[in-house]
């Protein structure tokens, strides 16, 4: 990868199955997830595209847009999308970037020198409303992504950004604190109303509380 967490996503004008898009500018004020796949007309990628589409409303309800990418042409993308519609009966509605010249893949570092250099790696880049990279995930070609985990990550990141809290392992099903979240207390903060506020403590450095995701 040529980008890192907290970097600003590079300015890129891309052609997609839904028209021209300026990244990250056209998504100002919104979060988006760019996910690259090795190639069109491949089985693992097909299962991922269908899964992303079936979860698309849940992403959109969070204020998160989806964008696909591979080093294939628009013509190939459209043909593959049509194949998915005809054979799996799912209409892919999110844009897919034409990167036949590999400009986007090279800019982001999605062509892995130790892998097949003719395809993009299976990567996920989550970008926030300020155009900052918040998560980078990379998978081997042999394993399809868990779209529920990507949705969970986006949900946890947005919650953390808005409420200034931290999601524990396996949130919202953590083995210690369940669906509660961790937080850092301000030094000297009054603790007398903790119980009424749903605040708990295992130690001065391990404090957690209830959170309403819909607030």
**CA 132 to CA 118: how far, in whole Å?**
28
Q: Are 187 and 197 spatial neighbours (Cβ–Cβ below 8 Å)?
A: no
Give exposure, 24-47, as e/b (b: 16+ Cβ within 10 Å). beebeeebbbbbbbbbbeeebbbe
Nearest in space to 77 (alpha carbons), one of 141, 148, 19:
19
The answer to whether 45 is a known catalytic residue is yes
**CA 138 to CA 83: how far, in whole Å?**
26
Q: Which long-range contacts (CB under 8 A, 24 or more apart) does 209-214 make?
A: 209/165, 209/180, 209/181, 209/183, 210/180, 211/159, 211/163, 211/165, 211/179, 211/180, 211/181, 213/155, 213/159
Cα angle: 8, vertex 31, 148; to 5 degrees: 120
Write out the H or E segment, with its range, that includes residue 15. strand 12-16
> Which of 33, 45, 127, 154 is the catalytic position?
45
**CA 90 to CA 208: how far, in whole Å?**
42
- Residue positions annotated with a catalytic role: 45
């Amino acid at each position: 990868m040529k980008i890192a967490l907290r970097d600003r996503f590079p300015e890129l004008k891309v052609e997609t199955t839904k028209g021209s898009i300026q990244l990250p500018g056209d998504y100002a004020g919104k979060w988006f997830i760019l996910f690259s796949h090795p190639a069109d007309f491949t089985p693992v990628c097909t299962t991922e595209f269908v899964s992303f589409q079936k979860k698309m409303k849940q992403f959109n309800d969070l204020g998160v847009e989806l964008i696909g990418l591979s080093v294939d042409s628009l013509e190939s993308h459209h043909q593959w999308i049509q194949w998915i519609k005809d054979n799996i009966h799912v209409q892919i509605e999110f844009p897919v970037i034409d990167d036949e010249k590999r400009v986007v893949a090279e800019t982001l570092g999605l062509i892995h020198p130790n892998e097949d250099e003719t395809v993009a790696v299976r990567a996920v880049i989550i970008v926030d409303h300020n155009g900052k990279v918040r998560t980078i995930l990379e998978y081997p070609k042999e394993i399809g992504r868990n779209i529920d985990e990507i949705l969970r990550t986006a949900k946890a990141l947005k919650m953390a950004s808005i409420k200034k809290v931290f999601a524990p392992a396996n949130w919202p099903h953590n083995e210690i604190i369940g669906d509660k979240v961790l937080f850092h207390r301000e030094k000297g903060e009054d603790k007398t109303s903790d119980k009424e506020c749903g605040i708990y403590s295992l130690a001065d450095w391990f404090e957690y509380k209830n959170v309403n995701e819909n607030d």
